[in-house]
Amino acid sequence: MPEMTQARRVLSVLAGQASDRPPVGFWHHFPSNAVSGRAAVEAHLRFLDRYPVDFLKIMNDNPYPTRRVVQCVADLRSLCVLNGDEAGYGLQLEVIRALADALAGEFLLVTTLFNTWTTLRKIVTPPGSDRSRPPVLGGAVAEADRRMHALVLEDRTAVAEALHGIAASHANFVANCLQAGADGIFLSVREDRVNTP
């Protein structure tokens, strides 16, 4: 079988067809000065030049668009459904557009989307604390989990409504990602792993 392009290799496997070899992909988070704008685009392009991957997972370290840390049920109720192009969403869309233009279909592009629970967990935790630390089985409880627990105990319905609002906002963002040139979404489910003491 002749050698395939990276995009054709992935599409063949997804369609259940033979390919010249299994597609390969891996990724890592870039430094904080390369999460948006031209620096993020260049970091992804350098990654592609250096590593022989078959698709590009566009990293997304741009925060969910919210103006403040959610500290109480009233803050939960103030969360509204977003258009999916505000603040952090918009920064990610700019990176997707630029990479789609630069790569012109050579690679399939998927962008990261954090699940709704992880998103809420991050926005109830003040900046500077370990917002991305996974849950711990036994031992010290992460600040994010302590805050989530308190909110659920205070008003389970408000938490559920906030999660629905975040999910609707994410759905709008996904539609915008596809329009910007992404071929798909990589749904990151951070709470599928835990730290053990």
Q: Which domains does the chain possess?
A: 35-192 (3.20.20.210)
**pTM metric for this prediction:** 0.89
Q: Return the sign of the alpha-carbon dihedral for residues 29, 117, 110, 82.
A: negative
47 touches 95 (CB < 8 A):
no
Quickly tell me which residue has 């700019």 as its tokens. 94
Predicted confidence (pLDDT) per residue in 85-144, tens digit: 999 999 999 999 999 999 998 999 999 999 999 899 989 987 766 555 566 666 677 788
- Rounded Cα gap, residues 161 and 80, in angstroms: 10
Sort strands 184-188 and 55-58 into parallel, antiparallel or unpaired.
unpaired
Q: How many CB atoms lie within 10 A of CB 96?
A: 22
